[in-house]
Chains A and B, each alone.
Chain A
Amino acid sequence: MAKSTGGSSGPQGNGSKPPAGKGKGATSARGRQSVAAARRTNPGSNRTQLIIGSIAVVLIAAVVIVGLVLNKKNNVVPEDNYGYSTKSTATASTDGVITFANGSGVTIETYEDALCPVCGEFEKQFGQQMAKAVDEGRLTVQLHMLTFLDQASASKDYSTRAYAALLAVAHEAGSTPGLAMKFHSMLFDEGTQPEESGSTDLTNEQLGDLAVKAGAPASVKESIVAAKYLDEAKAGSVTSSARLQAAIGKVGTPSILKDGAAVNINSVDWLSNLLN
């Protein structure tokens, strides 16, 4: 099926492709002009382009719709409406790890920075499910707070101070059911967690007020305002950073480890799968 002949077609010709032989430069340029002219006017060409365009639109729509369906599934908040933990207790180890538990159950390690926005999203989506599982004695959470976003806070040390406040609650009122885990969740609540690179964050006074609001006695607030556990927080974040680096080869938050290996928290079912 020879599609074209060369040499004789001008701008008004029938759109033939030019030949490839030597010395046909000028001729082939004319030939291409005629092809272009034909493409502009040929109804068959328009119809083909319309078909391609329609297929393209359908393809875009299909990809976006499939994506939105997947996205909707992944944005589900498990155990929504459970609220804060009510039964867990908290203990703080000498190297700054805070353990939330009510009995035993599956043990996970969580790594978070109080300023990290993705941690905020993570807590908003899974905080209630974790609280419920801990309250039911099916889950033990070993919380490792990191502080590498200090410099991105308005006060340049918010991550460390929030961690120190959490240590104060855990050390001094950790046996109060639900309290420390509730305070931890509140730190990430919408409207409470400061913005990364924002113009304000919480003072120690405000962190103390938040602890009291969670149910802590005034003495805990005094410890927070006095920055009693600041050095412990600094040391704890160094230890935890090193541990996370060794386990997964990078320091990123939020990270969840189970038996020293990273858990894929992009799946909405990650915790249900661990509990079952």
Chain B
Amino acid sequence: MDTVPAPIGITSGLAIFALVGADRRAFVLDLIGLLARLGLAAVFLISGVAKAANPRETRVAVRAYDLLPDSMVGAVAGVLPYLEIAIGLLLLLGMVVRWTAVASAALLLVFIGGVISAAARGLSIDCGCFGGGGTVAAGQTQYLAEILRDLGFLALAGWLIVRPRTLWSVDGLARRDAVAQDANA
């Protein structure tokens, strides 16, 4: 029994049915972490690319929040999409997951605060530029949906802050490396 090799990474994925107790539980948690990580990565990549592709709308949207001085609107609207893309890439690769998750959560909290403030002031952030007059009338319910959606994303980030270990991550490679070095020490 001293020479049973330890399943790691993808091997443990294939060997799930051989796992019991704590091992199996850890694998399931790692898998949930992976899903949370990839989900959050998709959110940031999609929203970042959409913002980057429509710089004019992004600028208007940032200005519409009325929370920044005019001189800063351009800078924030310029950086934000690419910051989101960068966070999305880091999550996709699984690099420094805990810190990336902290950054994601901070960004989401800013968004949620902005949307709540916009809803409270009766703004139509997307300017009703798509979908005609109905967009404005339906504004309130969309804000609620946006906030709930962002809270869902925040939960994903929260999971990764509490438990950043996930399957198939660059961090995981480093962990494996550490274990190997440790074993050889």
- Interface residues in A149-176 (C-beta closer than 8 Å to B): 149-152
- Assign chain B's interface to a size class: 35 or more
Q: Which of A8, A67, A74, A122 has its CB near the most chain B CB atoms (within 10 A)?
A: A67
CB distance from B46 to the nearest CB of A (A): 15
In the complex, A25→B22 CA distance in Å? 6
Neighbouring A residues of B183 by C-beta, 8 Å: 3-4, 14-16
CB-based nearest B residue for A45: B178
Q: Which of A49, A68, A241 is B79 in contact with, Cβ under 8 Å?
A: A68
Cβ-defined contact, A152 with B124, below 8 A:
yes
Q: Which of A7, A149, A253 is B1 in contact with, Cβ under 8 Å?
A: A7
Asked if B5 is an interface residue, CB under 8 A from chain A, the answer is yes
Cβ-defined contact, B4 with A52, below 8 A:
no
**Given A28-B23, A251-B132, A39-B175 contact (CB < 8 Å):** yes
Cβ-defined contact, A52 with B22, below 8 A:
no
Cβ-defined contact, A196 with B1, below 8 A:
no
Asked if A95 is an interface residue, CB under 8 A from chain B, the answer is no
Q: Which of A14, A72, A125, A152 is B136 in contact with, Cβ under 8 Å?
A: A152
CB-based nearest B residue for A17: B6
Neighbouring A residues of B131 by C-beta, 8 Å: 250-252
- Please report B residues at the A interface, Cβ cutoff 8 Å: 1-8, 12, 15, 18-23, 26, 52-57, 59-60, 63-64, 74, 78-79, 81-83, 85-87, 89-90, 95-96, 99-100, 121-124, 127-133, 136-137, 170-171, 174-183, 185
Give 14 new A-B contacts, CB below 8 A, not counting A38-B178, A71-B55, A118-B56: A3-B183, A20-B23, A21-B4, A22-B20, A29-B21, A29-B22, A44-B177, A52-B174, A56-B96, A64-B86, A75-B74, A120-B60, A121-B59, A197-B123
- Please report A residues at the B interface, Cβ cutoff 8 Å: 1-8, 14-26, 28-29, 32, 35, 38-39, 42, 44-45, 48-49, 52-53, 55-56, 59-60, 63-64, 66-68, 70-72, 74-75, 113, 116-118, 120-122, 125, 148-152, 196-197, 241, 250-254, 266
